[in-house]
Amino acid sequence: MQRYDATTALIVVDVQNDFADPRGSLAVDGGARIVPFVNEQVRAAHDGGGFVVYSQDWHPEHTPHFAQDGGTWPVHCVQDTWGAALHEGLTVNGPVVRKGSNGEDGYSAFTMREPMTGETTPTELESLLRDRTVRTVVVCGLATDYCVKATALDAVRLGFATSVLADGVRSVDLQPGDGDVALADMEEAGVTVVHEWDDGRLHHEQEL
């Protein structure tokens, strides 16, 4: 089990209906299956005196991020809709950082990117962590090959010791194996990928 203390933050990335629920517009295969594991981590973090923070895609109805407006993705996580809501089974016990609210690409929980100019702006996440003298971040959520990866890479860039919990992520896998490639890219950048064992087998190898 991942260990937490007062200098550690658990970042729960985008466990929202449109990603985690099979009915969601951009449902990740197996996304709902991570929720019990994430909830265990939330409890462990609070029990250890750690900080828990959640990110939430929060898009307007029209944004260059969406295919209907020239972007890549189907409409998802539109503000104040069922799809944007955090999954009903998720334990929410900490602040929520919303991203993409003004039409930006909101992959990382730390930064947003203006899709037309490429200009990046920070979310409030880094300041929340600095205010609590956090030095280590643990990342889980959806999806491995996009928002989890972007969040973890930003965390390393900002100087946090960073881990990703393989049992607490799932991939979009637009191309087969994208999730595994993302984990390898994160490790190369200095992220520790933590595998939890069960009866001698890795959950990640069984289910991702």
C-alpha 101/C-alpha 81 separation (Å) is 13
Indicate whether 204 pLDDT > 70: no
Is 99 a known active-site residue?
A: yes
For the domain that residue 13 is a member of, what is the CATH number?
3.40.50.850
The number of domains in the chain is 1
Q: Is the residue at 169 inside a domain?
A: yes
Q: Which of 76-80, 111-115, 150-154, 198-202 has the lowest mean pLDDT?
A: 198-202
Q: Which of 160-169, 177-186, 189-198 has the lowest mean pLDDT?
A: 189-198
pTM above 0.85, yes or no: yes
Tens of pLDDT, residues 140-176: 999 999 999 999 999 999 999 999 999 999 999 999 9
| Chain mean position to CA 198 | 23
Indicate whether 7 pLDDT > 70: yes
- Per annotation, catalytic residue among 18, 99, 105, 140: 99
Structure tokens at 55: 């990110």
Among residues 70, 71, 84, 65, which one has the least CA distance to residue 19? 84
| Chain mean position to CA 85 | 14
For the segment 96-111, the average pLDDT, to the nearest whole number, is 93
Q: How far is CA 36 from CA 43, 145, 149, 169, 174, in A?
A: 11, 21, 21, 12, 25
Query: Whole domain around residue 169: which residue ranges?
Result: 8-207
117 confidence band (pLDDT: 50, 70, 90): confident
Which residue(s) pair with 12 in the sheet?
A: 54, 140
Indicate whether 206 pLDDT > 90: no
Across all residues in the chain, what is the average pLDDT?
Answer: 91
- Per annotation, catalytic residue among 21, 140, 147, 173: 147
Q: Is the residue at 1 inside a domain?
A: no
Share in percent of the chain as helix, strand, coil (round to 5): 30, 25, 45
pLDDT at position 201, please? 30
Q: Is the residue at 2 inside a domain?
A: no
pLDDT at position 205, please? 34
Tens of pLDDT, residues 42-76: 999 999 999 999 999 999 999 888 889 888 888 99
Q: Is the residue at 108 inside a domain?
A: yes
Q: Is 196 helix (H, G, I), strand (E, B) or coil?
A: coil
1 confidence band (pLDDT: 50, 70, 90): low
Among residues 28, 104, 113, 111, which one has the least CA distance to residue 69? 104
